[in-house]
């Protein structure tokens, strides 16, 4: 993952509203992370944009009146990582089962 920064100008909106800028990221991270964070009941709004197609930047906006946006972002990234780990583990288990079955049937 690339670097992370906060977009300037959000300070007046409180800790619950922030726009984070991910460099070297795009729709793959933006859509997956948005889908996870949108399910949190304390989130009022979450969305992302790619401001310009020639720049490798993802602007990710979180708004909440109950929690700090940075805490919601961290939780979302941790939940996304856990989901990816589960997917990889499940895939590897199924591939091992398939390869064991295929080896037995072909001998």
CATH number at residue 37: 3.30.1360.10
The pLDDT value given to residue 102: 82
Query: Can you give the residue range of the structural domain that contains 90?
Result: 4-106
Q: How many domains does the chain have?
A: 1
Long-range contacts of 64-72 (CB under 8 A, 24+ apart): 64/16, 64/17, 65/16, 66/16, 66/42, 67/16, 67/42, 68/15, 68/16, 69/15, 69/16, 69/17, 69/18, 69/20, 70/15, 70/18, 72/37, 72/40, 72/42, 72/43
> Going residue by residue through the chain (107 aa), what tens digit of pLDDT does each one get?
566 788 766 666 789 999 999 999 999 999 999 999 999 999 999 999 999 988 889 999 999 999 999 999 999 999 999 999 999 999 999 999 999 888 766 65
């Amino acid at each position: 993952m690339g670097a992370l920064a906060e977009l300037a100008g959000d300070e007046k909106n409180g800790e619950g509203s922030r726009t984070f800028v991910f460099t070297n990221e795009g729709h793959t991270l933006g859509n997956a992370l948005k889908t996870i964070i949108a399910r949190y009941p304390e989130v009022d709004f979450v969305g992302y944009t790619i401001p310009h197609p020639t720049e490798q930047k993802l602007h990710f906006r979180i708004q909440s009146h109950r929690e700090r946006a940075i805490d919601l972002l961290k939780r979302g990234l941790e939940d996304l990582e856990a989901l990816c780990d589960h997917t990889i583990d499940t895939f590897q288990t199924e591939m091992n089962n398939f390869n064991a079955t295929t080896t037995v049937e072909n001998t």
